[in-house]
Amino acid sequence: MELNILIAFIMDPQTQTSSNQSRNSLAIPIAIVLAGIIIAGAVYLRGPSAGTTTDDFKAESAEINIAAVSNKDHILGSPSAPITIVEYSDTECPFCKNFQKTMEQISAEYGKNGQVAWVYRHFPIVQLHSRAPFEAEATECAAELGGESKFWEYINKVFEVTPANNGLDPAQLSVIAVSVGLDKAAFQKCLDSGKYTEKINQSVEEAKTAGAQGTPYSVLIYNKAIPKKVIDRVDEISLNLKFPPGTFTFSPDKTKLAISGALPYEVIAEIVDVIIENK
């Protein structure tokens, strides 16, 4: 297996309270520090091809064969929102833990007025996080017993509680269930049944088909072709912040933008803003 690498994007916590001001000028350092390339097993990102540098990088183009969003998905926000962000995530991935907070912020700001819907899909990487698939099944049991609101409450709590990197004690899954108001016996019965194992396995295969080589992996879907000004802005962001090749990939019809890695809130919000401004 080729060497696995992970790009870590670290943001100064102070920028979280002044996000509207900071993202207005990404050309200025927005308190984002690129921590560099960290050797880790959480993702399978391919390295740049020979002769490629960040100085001449442009967003790539490739087919993004993502399964259509349906009522079977976990959706936060309006299903009819013009922008949908489908995230494939692993509950034991430390970078997914950070990106969960980013997407919570995006949902809070852009979901309230129907501009963005957030779809969560499972991509536990069992070779690295053997406990993650079972945790993913636990979130499905939470949804079964308490509906969508409990799914989101439960999974947010899992990310909050886990130290990541396979550090969550499986015994805590029922404790978390009780903490969000679910019946412990019913939850444990659901989890022990293994009834959602196949659903998680299918989600993993769908993630790979969609182009995911690691976590978090997100696909921004627009209800029409993404304007050229947005594509140019994505290239500008890539150059200014020196993101590696493969961070952004547009589908040939420009209705989809794949995003690899735990990009900070400011970057995701900037892209959403430019789409909204140029719709």
Residue 15, pLDDT above cutoff 70: no
Decide if 15 is inside a domain: yes
Tokens linked to 213 = 């080589």
Angstrom CA distances, 181 to 97, 139, 174, stand at: 22, 13, 11
Domain of 21: which CATH number?
3.40.30.10
pLDDT band at 58 (very low <50, low <70, confident <90, very high): low
Residue 87 pairs in a beta bridge with 120, 218
Decide if 184 is inside a domain: yes
pTM: 0.82
Alpha-carbon distance 142 to 147, whole Å?
7
Q: What's the Rg (C-alpha) of the chain?
A: 18
- Per-residue pLDDT tens for 112-163? 999 999 999 999 999 999 999 999 999 999 999 999 999 999 999 999 999 9
Burial string for 17-36 (b: 16+ CB within 10 Å, else e) reads eebeebbeebeeebbbeeee
Task: Work out the average pLDDT over 7-20.
Answer: 35
Residue 4, pLDDT above cutoff 50: no
Decide if 65 is inside a domain: no
Q: What is the pLDDT of residue 36?
A: 32
Alpha-carbon distance 206 to 73, whole Å?
13
Mean pLDDT of the chain: 84
Domain that holds residue 173: 5-59+70-277
Task: Work out the average pLDDT over 37-51.
Answer: 31
Tokens linked to 257 = 């933008």
For the chain, count helices (H), then strands (E): 8, 9
pLDDT, greater one: 58 or 137 = 137
Decide if 9 is inside a domain: yes
- Per-residue pLDDT tens for 74-119? 999 999 999 999 999 999 999 999 999 999 999 999 999 999 999 9
Q: Cβ contacts of residue 178 below 8 Å, gap of 6+? A: 184, 187
Residue 33, pLDDT above cutoff 70: no
Residue 54, pLDDT above cutoff 80: no
Decide if 206 is inside a domain: yes
Q: What is the pLDDT of residue 276?
A: 96
Q: Cβ contacts of residue 101 below 8 Å, gap of 6+? A: 265
Of the chain, the percentage scoring pLDDT greater than 90 comes to: 78
- Burial class (CB within 10 angstroms; exposed 0-12, middle 13-18, buried 19+) of 195: middle
Q: What is the pLDDT of residue 59?
A: 77
Residue 51, pLDDT above cutoff 50: no
Helix (H) or strand (E) holding 89: strand 83-89
Decide if 64 is inside a domain: no
Total number of domains constituting the chain: 1
Decide if 45 is inside a domain: yes
Decide if 241 is inside a domain: yes
Q: What is the pLDDT of residue 60?
A: 85
- Per-residue pLDDT tens for 181-217? 999 999 999 999 999 999 999 999 999 999 999 999 9
CA angle 123, 75, 235 (to 5 degrees): 70
Q: Cβ contacts of residue 80 below 8 Å, gap of 6+? A: 114
